[in-house]
Structure formats: structure tokens, C-alpha cells
Amino acid sequence: MVQTLARAGCEVTLVLKAPVRTGRLVDPLRALPNVTVRSPHADGRLPAQIPMPVRWAATVLAEVDAEDPFDLIVVRGRRLAGKLAAGPLAGRLWTYLTDVPQQAGDFDGDAFGELRRIADASRLLLCQTEELRCFLESAVPATAGKSVLFPPVVVLPEGLEPRAAGAPEGRALKLVYTGKFAPRWNTYEMTRLPRLLSVDAEVHMVGDKVHDDPGDPGYAPRMQAALETAPGVVWHGGHPRAEAMRLTAACDIGLSWRHPELDASLELSTKLLECGLLGVPVVLNRTPMHERLFGVDYPLFVATEDDVVTALDKIGLNPDLYELAAERCRAAAEDYTLEAAARRVKGYLAEVFPEPDPAVLAAAGGRKLRVGVAGHDLKFFTRLLDYLRSRPDMEVRVDHWAALKAHDPERGQELLDWADVIICEWCGPNALWYAERKRPGQRLVVRLHRFELYADWPRKLDIDSVDQVICVSPHYADLTLAKTGWPKEKVTVIPNWVDDRQLDRPKLAGAEHHLGFIGIAPSRKRLDLALDVVEELRRDDPRFTLFVKSKLPWEYWWIWQKPEERAHYEKVFHRIRRSPLLSGGVVFDDYGRDVAAWLRRIGFVLSTSDDESFHLAPAEGMASGAVPALLNWPGADTIYDTRWIHTGTSAMAASIADTVRLDRWEADRTLAREQVRRDYGLAEVCRQWTDLLAVRAPVAAPGI
């Protein structure tokens, strides 16, 4: 982590939790430019021989921070992060989470509450694997949108070169295991391999920690005896990491075959990556994570001891198969080098710490631009608000209304007295209140959604007091002008943002046959038309399945109280229960913030609404690598490329079927992802808002 941050351009201070007993790890870091190593023990803050307890860490780190405040604080471990979440470092934490429950059944109220507090106090949550990130977002909604990947980083020791390419010839096959010796790691079974294989083989074991198993008191002596006496086993004892990697590089195949109980782990073994970087193929369990890394046809996937023997015998006799496995491991490790980690962190730094814009500073006379945000519901503005707050050329305050019409006028007046520009999220009572009271020269920007356009507030708004009205699509900008008669120059388009980096995640197997539908209420979302599409597809291919992520209509009291809405949904749900084609073909998933994780299984996102102002779901699907499929609701062609828009449900079903049948899915989803990133990606929309606040006319995004 220290090396990664330094390479990414940070000045790094490493605070040690234990006294230094050897310089083997710390001295190379002290020699790096822009790195400072602080030892609270050497500074006299802690007793010389006692490792820093978690309960002291928050105090020590706060004291170090007070001397010269940090922009970000990287902390590893749930207990320490929980302590820091309640202190002065909150908001600047980049929390690296590994020690979290990895199954839903392991979550209790305490774990959930602690992780929610950590998420609220963290600017980013660093997750080792995509699987851990998705699980965390599903279990703790507060982590969604903040969770990013920081996979293990593998660095070759100085002077160590990867193993030369090519299968071993003319000698025994050298197998290698490094690490602890424990029952679930199958280390005792590994010592039997030289006797079981038909090819000549040795097993080289590196490590000196033999596990005492309470359930099997005989394990430790049995394991120790095998290390010392088993035929074909070479036990090297314990070694530092660099020497262990040198021993690995001298062998042919790594062993990482484990008990099936460990298949559900959401963490990635660094040993696998070290072997890959060294060009040493690895025997390992078949899991979804490993299939994604090495490919489903990787030749050294195993489950049982017989599998191990069969795979090793086959690869020992087939040089081409050996080289295929070695190349897969080398390719998998490329994304886990120090250089790859530095590139990844540079991207996060650019998002969290954007560069100042001279035009913004000029708009405020050389100081930070004071931006006020006012509204009762900011859910559609959250990432934009985070972005504005992160800018070094802006200062942001929020007047959060308790409800649509519930407001604290004193707080509003404070914002009026302070702000250079005020953004009203929703053209409702908040916009009317600020338009009546804004100062001369103070700018007022109002963001208008579909909801307000059909209410009375726009008609009552003093448009002369508003500098700019923002609509999210050209169609709704035209409707706004037609309904209000406002001057054309007052209304502009800045589209909804799509968090393309968060949504861009690898798809799960079978996604090309999975259709996604987000939000089924009210009835104008037309779930019934989506069912038409699914029925037509399943007539020819029952693999097609519709996944629905939504609250159910009776969870919205203002919808469920309307007889026509009830009648619509009763008909829809009766149809799902009774249609033979829909049986097993429609899955309802809980509403929640884990959309990015959910979209990993989705290959097509449907939009069958009667009308929409923008409809974010297809754009989010595109950013995830899914293909959008829309009916031609009014204005759809001003937002989305017409290639994704269909004349009816039969045409939509035929297009989806052809896309899969003709192997066009990969090409189409790549094109869709490029389109949404270019026009509606978070960085692009944030740029347009920055231009607007700097009093430069924004350019409306083209349709995609």
C-alpha cells in the first residue's frame, strides 16, 4: 500500500503499530522518496515493547494528523476503522476491509451497525475482490457507491526473475506449497502425491507453522512426521517471503488445492498471484472467482485428490497443456502488479481530489465559489453533491428541507446570505422560496424533474429570478418550454449522471439470457409489456429469464390506494402465476442500493414505459455492459440511439433473440458501454455542471 500510494504521487506517512525489531520490512520503505515512517514507540508515545492496542490507535493517529493534517487516511481492519469512524479522521478514511463476515448468516446487528458506521465515515471502502464488494453492498447498503477495488498487490523481490517458459523435461516434476500446514488447506494430502502420481514428482513444502486442530489432536504430529519422512517430500522450513518466492520459482507447479469449505471465500490468495507472476501454474479449486481469473477451461482445476492426481499426470506428460496453464496464470497476475495498483489508485485520487478550474475561481473573484444546495429529497443529486464538495475551488452548504413544504427559514436565510449560487433540486416550494428572496447578483439554478412539470409550482415560479432551469432530456426541455412559456435561453439540458466506473463490473455466466427490469411502479412502467417479451423469448429458449429489482406496488401507499393501479397489478401477478411460459421465468429481487452487484447477472435491460423523462435504468445497464432494449416512449430517441429502440414487444423480443443467436451480444454491449460513458458518464456530467457554475454555457449531451 505504501509503495502504491507513493507511485501514485502521494506523500505517504506510515504509522507503525508495533515496535521495530528488524529493518527487513521497514528499511526499504524509509528509502523511498515522499515516504515517512513514524514509530509511536520510538517517538515515546507508547511503551517500547508493547504493540499499539486498537483503543490507543485512534488517539495516536489523531495526534499525528493534528501536526500536519492528512488528505486521506488508509486504515486496514474493522476494529480500528470502527474506532476512527467516531473521531476527527471521519470523512477522510479509505478503509481496507478484509475481516468482515463473508456469509449472510454471519451478520448480526452489531456487525451490521459497525460496518454501516464505518461506511458513513469512509470516503472510500477498498475491497480485495469483486465478490467481496458485491456481497458487502448487498449486506450493508451504506457501502454502495463507496466500495472500490484494491486487489492484492504482488511484487517480485529484487533480482528474482520469473521462471523460464516451457514444461520441465528430463527430471522429476517439482510441486511446491508455501504457507501454514492445516487440515482445510489439504497439506497432509499433498505429502502423499509423490506416491500417487504416475509421473516422477517431488513436493517442496515451505513453512514452519503446523496447526493444532482441536477436532483432530493427532493432526499436528501426523503432519510433522509427513514433512520429515514422507517419500518425495522436501521440507524447507520457514523462510522470509522473498526466499519463499525464490524457492517457488525453482519449481514447476504450485499447490493451492483446499477443502471445499473454503470455496465460498470472498478473498483472493496472494500465493496464487505470486505463482502467476513467477510463471508457475497452480493447482486450485474451481470457483466462480477462479474461473473469472483463469478461464473456465483452465486445466488445473480440481476438487478431489483423484482430480489432483489426474490433472498432474496429464499435465506432466503434455508440454502444451503445461504451457497453457502457465500462460493463464501469468496473464491473471498482470492486473495485480504494483504498476497496476498505482494506476488504479491514481484513478481514485483523480475522482476524490479533482483539479481546480480557473474559471470557477474567476467566477468567485479568486476565492472558492460558495455553492448552496436546497431540496427535500437529494437522492438524484448525491454523487453530484459529493463531487461539488470534493472540488478544491468550491465550498458547499446544504439546506435540507424536512419535507416538500417543511422548511427552516432561518437556515434558508443563512444560505441566502452566504452563497454565490444556489441550486434548487426540484422545482417545488424550495424554488419558489429562494426565487422570492435571492440577492441581486446571486445566481439561482433550478433542476426540474417530470414530477414538478405536471404540478402548479413552475407556473408560480418567478422565472426572471432564475438564471437557469436544468432538464434531464431534450424532450422534457421542449415540454417545459411548451407548458411554461419560459424564455428558451433559460432552459438547458444536463442529463442524469451514470456512475459508469462503479457499474462497470464483470458479468456472471449466463448473463446473455437474463433480462433486467428496475422499478415496476406505477403501472405506467408497464411490467405487463416486459412479460410479453419474456413469453415470446421463452417459446423458443427457456433459458431467457426476467429479473425484476423493485419495491412491490403495495409498498407505495399513494399508488396502492388507487383502484386502477391495484387492478393493473392484480392482473399482472395472476398472469405470472398462471402462464406456463412464465413459470420459473420471472424472478423478483429486493429493492436496494446494490444495483451494480445485481446488474452483473443481467445481459439486457428493458424499458417498456408509457413515458419517461430520462429513464436511468437502461443507461445504468449500458454502463454495466448490458444491452438496452426500449420501446419508443416519447423522447426516447433524444436520449438513446435508435438502434436500441423497438416498435413493439415482438420486435424487441426478436432483436434480443437475434443478438444472442448471432453472437452479437459482446459487440453490442461494448458499443453500449462506450456510448453511455461518453455522453452520460459521471465525469462528463460533472464537467457540465462545473461549466454551468462557472457561468459558461453547457452543451446539451447528444442522444445515445
Share of the chain above pLDDT 70, in %: 99
Average pLDDT over residues 173-187: 96
Report the length, in residues, of the chain: 704
Task: Evaluate whether 580 touches 604 at the Cβ level (below 8 Å).
Answer: no
Q: pLDDT averaged over the chain?
A: 93
pLDDT bucket at 460, cuts 50 / 70 / 90: very high
Dihedral pair phi/psi, residue 624, rounded to 5°: -80, -10
* In contact, 301 and 290? CB cutoff 8 Å: yes
Structure confidence by residue, pLDDT tens digits, 392-438: 999 999 999 999 999 999 999 999 999 999 999 999 999 999 999 99
In the three-class reduction of DSSP (H, G, I as helix; E, B as strand; rest coil), residue 239 is classed as coil
The residue among 405, 402, 401, 446 whose CA lies nearest residue 422 is 446
- The alpha carbon dihedral of 325, 327, 333, 335 has a sign of negative
Residue pair 186/309 in contact (Cβ under 8 Å)? The answer is no
Quote the pLDDT of residue 703: 52
Average pLDDT over residues 439-457: 93
What pLDDT sits at residue 704? 54
Assigned C-alpha cell, 527: 411490467
d(CA 35, CA 4): 11
Cα–Cα distance between 340 and 328 in angstroms, integer?
18
d(CA 107, CA 135) in angstroms, rounded, equals 12
The DSSP line for 62-99 is HHHHHHS--S-EEEESHHHHHHHTTSTTTTSEEEEE-S
* CA 369 – CA 363 distance, rounded (Å): 7
Q: Which stretch of DSSP H or E encloses residue 398?
A: strand 394-400
**How far, in Å, are 534, 581, 583 from residue 542 at the CA level?**
9, 8, 10
Query: CA-CA distance, 10 to 609, in Å (whole number)?
Result: 48
Closest CA to 149 of 4, 31, 3, 301: 4
Return the pLDDT at 408: 95
CA atoms within 13 A on the CB side of 190: 34
Average pLDDT over residues 244-252: 94
pLDDT in tens, 12-66: 999 999 988 888 788 989 999 999 999 998 888 888 778 888 889 999 999 999 9
- Report, as an integer, the average pLDDT of 209-229: 95
CA distances from 143 to 149, 590, 623 (A): 13, 17, 19
Buried b (16+ CB within 10 A) or exposed e, 206-218: bbeebeeeeeeee
Residue-level pLDDT at 247: 95
**CA neighbor of 94 nearest in space, from 66, 122, 121:** 122
3-state class of 436 per DSSP? helix
Q: Which amino acid is at 66?
A: A
Give the least confident one: 123-137, 264-278, 298-312, 563-577: 264-278
Q: What are the beta bridge partners of residue 164?
A: none
Residue (of 271, 248, 255) closest to 308 by Cα position: 255
Report the range of poorest mean pLDDT among 207-221, 319-333, 434-448, 690-704: 690-704
Phi, psi of 201, rounded to the nearest 5 degrees: -150, 150
CB 61, CB 73: distance < 8 Å? yes
Flag whether pLDDT at 617 surpasses 80: yes
Q: How many CB atoms lie within 10 A of CB 376?
A: 17
How many CA atoms lie less than 13 Å away from 555 in the CB half-sphere? 8
DSSP structure class, residue 701? P
Instruction: Tell me the per-residue pLDDT of 120-162, one tens digit each, with 9 for 90 and over.
Output: 999 999 999 999 999 999 999 999 999 999 999 988 888 888 8
Q: What is the pTM of this model?
A: 0.86
**DSSP 8-state assignment for residue 644:** G
Give the relative orientation of helices 429-437 and 409-418 as an angle to the nearest 10 degrees: 50
700 band by pLDDT with thresholds 50, 70 and 90: very low
Q: Cβ(653)–Cβ(660) under 8 Å?
A: no
Confidence band, pLDDT 50/70/90 cuts, at residue 317: confident
Residues 6+ away with beta carbon under 8 Å from 311: 283, 299, 300, 301, 302
561 burial type by CB count under 10 A (0-12 exposed, 13-18 middle, 19+ buried)? exposed
Identify the pLDDT of residue 696. 45
Query: 50-59, 223-232, 280-289, 455-464: which range is least confident on average?
Result: 50-59
Q: Which residues are registered as beta bridge partners of 369?
A: 394
